[in-house]
Amino acid sequence: MVSLRPIEDSNREAVEALEVSPGQQRFVSNVADSLLEAAAEPDGRALYWAVYADETPVGFVMISDEVGGPGYIPHYLWKLFIDERYQRRGYGTATLDLIVEYFRGRPGVEVLSTSAGQGEGTPIAFYERYGFEQTGEIVFDNEVLLRLELR
């Protein structure tokens, strides 16, 4: 069973040791860098969890649940990765299920957005299989913006 758990002193080392495959590393930063990025966000805008399969940490997910200022994408799946040893077992899809459930429980949230880099190894097809659609917009550092209707 997949669950999301806080990253604490007791599991931080194991979670920070998780890695995607070398071909995926250009699309998502590692956990340690992601946690630094989250800490730099104002007002605790970045929420993050370790992804567990039963009692084993297998991945990391980070979201933004705030509207923010101009140029800020609200209700955003910011980071999602499953360690290369645990990919293709349904953990990424199960994690998306939990994130979608979270956002569907938030009043007034109708769309979940994410973005993905382009090129070999991109997760765009994974998101499209889940139901996300490309918007045609390019955001951040040449990333394709995708959105999922929640209602």
CA distance 107 to 131: 21
- Residue ranges and CATH numbers for the domains of the chain are 2-149 (3.40.630.30)
- Within 10 A of 113 (CB to CB), how many other CB atoms are there? 19
| pLDDT tens digits, one per residue of 44-76 | 789 999 999 999 999 999 999 876 666 678 899
* The model's pTM: 0.94
CA distance 48 to 44: 10
pLDDT of residue 41: 84
